C-alpha cells in the first residue's frame, strides 16, 4: 500500500510540473492548470482505491495507475492545447513595443502594439479595436491577415521571438 501511495504522489507531481511547464511555454491560462491537476488527482485516487480493493499485488496496481494517469494527462493536455483560448502577453523585441494578443482557435490579432498604422476590429479579439505592427506573411491562414498583421497560434510555441513578430 505504501508503494502505491508513493507511486501516485510521484506521478501526480510529475504531471502537474509538466502541465505547468506547458502553461509557461504555450501560455495557457492558469485556471486550466488547476483544472488539469484536479482531474488527474481525482482519477489517480479513484483508480488506486479500486485497484487496491481488487488486487493484492501492489506492483500491478502501481503499473496500472501510472499508465492510466499518463493516458488521462496526455488526453487532457491535448484537449487544452486544441481549445487554444489563450491570453498571451507579448514581450516587445527588436526595439519595438509588444502587445497583448488574444488567441482564439488558430488566429490572433495584436490588440496593443507600438504602431497603429493598420487596425482591425473583430469580435474574436474581445470585441475591441486591435492594431498590429506585424508585416509578417507567415500567417496566411489568419482570417484577418488582409486587415492587420496576424500570426497563427502555432507561432507562440517553440520558443521563438514573439516580440519579433509584434514588436518590429
Most confident of 8-12, 93-97, 109-113: 8-12
93 and 112 share one domain:
yes
- Per-residue pLDDT band for 11 (boundaries 50, 70, 90) equals confident
Do 139 and 153 fall into the same domain? yes
* Residues β-bridged to residue 119: 131
- Whether 114 and 67 share a structural domain: no
DSSP 114: S
39 shares its domain with 78 = yes
Last residue of a domain, one of 64, 83, 102: 83
The pLDDT of residue 60 is: 74
Answer yes or no: do 90 and 76 share one domain: no
Q: What is the pLDDT of residues 57-94, one digit of tens each?
A: 777 777 777 777 777 777 766 666 554 444 443 333 33
Mean pLDDT of 103-125: 34
Q: Which of 83, 102, 129 is the last residue of a domain?
A: 83
For the stretch 123-143, what's the b/e string if a residue is b when 16 or more beta carbons lie within 10 angstroms of its beta carbon?
ebbeeeebbbbbebeebeebe
Same domain, 78 and 90: no
Same domain, 43 and 93: no
Measured distance CA(45)–CA(73) in Å, rounded: 14
Which of the two residues, 133 and 65, has the higher pLDDT score?
65
In order of 80, 106, 127, 134, 165, the CA distances from 141 in angstroms are 21, 8, 20, 15, 16
Which of 83, 115, 147 terminates a domain? The answer is: 83
How many structural domains are present in the chain?
A: 2
Domain hosting 127: range is: 85-166
Q: Closest by alpha carbon to 139, among 88, 93, 114, 105?
A: 105
> And the C-alpha cell for 53?
480493493
Together in a domain, 89 and 160? yes
Overall pTM > 0.85: no
Average pLDDT score over the chain:
52
Amino acid at each position: 500500500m505504501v508503494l502505491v501511495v508513493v507511486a501516485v504522489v510521484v506521478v501526480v507531481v510529475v504531471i502537474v510540473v509538466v502541465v505547468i511547464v506547458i502553461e509557461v511555454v504555450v501560455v495557457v491560462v492558469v485556471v486550466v492548470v488547476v483544472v488539469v491537476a484536479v482531474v488527474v488527482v481525482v482519477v489517480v485516487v479513484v483508480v488506486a482505491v479500486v485497484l487496491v480493493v481488487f488486487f493484492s499485488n501492489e506492483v500491478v496496481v502501481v503499473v496500472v495507475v501510472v499508465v492510466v494517469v499518463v493516458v488521462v494527462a496526455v488526453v487532457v493536455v491535448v484537449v487544452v492545447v486544441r481549445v487554444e483560448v489563450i491570453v498571451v502577453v507579448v514581450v516587445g523585441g527588436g526595439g519595438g513595443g509588444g502587445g497583448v494578443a488574444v488567441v482564439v482557435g488558430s488566429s490572433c490579432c495584436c490588440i496593443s502594439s507600438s504602431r497603429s498604422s493598420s487596425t482591425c476590429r473583430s469580435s474574436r479579439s474581445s470585441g475591441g479595436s486591435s492594431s498590429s505592427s506585424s508585416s509578417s506573411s507567415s500567417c496566411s491562414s489568419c482570417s484577418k491577415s488582409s486587415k492587420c498583421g496576424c500570426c497563427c497560434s502555432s507561432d507562440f510555441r517553440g520558443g521563438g521571438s514573439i516580440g519579433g513578430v509584434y514588436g518590429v
